[in-house]
Structures are given as C-alpha cells and as structure tokens.
Amino acid sequence: MKLIPIHNGLWILKKRLEISQIKIIFPKEDVYQYKIEAADGYDNWSLVADFMNNQNMESEKKIEVPQLVGNLIRISFKDAKKAKIAEMEVIGIVLE
C-alpha cells in the first residue's frame, strides 16, 4: 500500500486497511528506539509496537499486527537524531 507522508513521523494510507504487517527498513544498521502507532482517523491511536527500550542493532524490522484497522501510521523515535527510515511497507486487506 502506498504511504503518503503528512509530516515528521506521520503517514497516511490511500485507503483503510486491516493491517497485518508493517516492515521498516532503516538507512543503516544501528540501535533504533521507537514506537509505532496506527489510527483509523486522527483520534484513538493504538500502539502497534514499542521498541523505545531496544538495545539491539537492526537494519530492518517486520512487525506482525493482529487485527488492526487504520489509515494512519505514526512512528516516534526516542532520539530525534536517529529518526530516519529508508523505506516502510504496510501490508493488509483493503477495506474501502
């Protein structure tokens, strides 16, 4: 599904999805501390994954998402200097 960046850390999906997986590719292997949230509209954000205390080196992350409907994805980094994503893919079933 194509993601449209709205502003720092917030992306809108072209359609509502029943999200099943989110894949993030970082620009280089490093320790990234972040959390991912999703919403169906701008209210009622749901936590998808919390890696704010991560200590592992990674260059990509696949997150399985159990039955979450949404059209917005928000990623918040603990350290703004490391707030870099090379690519993000959201996989799911289109609802509309």
- The residue extents of the domains of the chain are 3-94
Q: Which residues contact 2 (CB under 8 A, 6 or more apart)?
A: 13, 14
pLDDT tens digits, one per residue of 75-89? 999 998 888 899 999
Confidence of residue 1 (pLDDT cuts 50, 70, 90): low
Instruction: Retrieve residue 54's tokens.
Output: 């991560």
Report the distance separating Cα 96 and Cα 32, nearest Å. 34
What integer pLDDT is reported at residue 5 of this predicted model? Answer: 55
Class of domain 3-94 (CATH, top level):
mainly beta
Contact 36, 73 (CB under 8 A): yes
Contact 45, 74 (CB under 8 A): yes
More confident call, 56 vs 81: 56
State the pTM of this model. 0.85
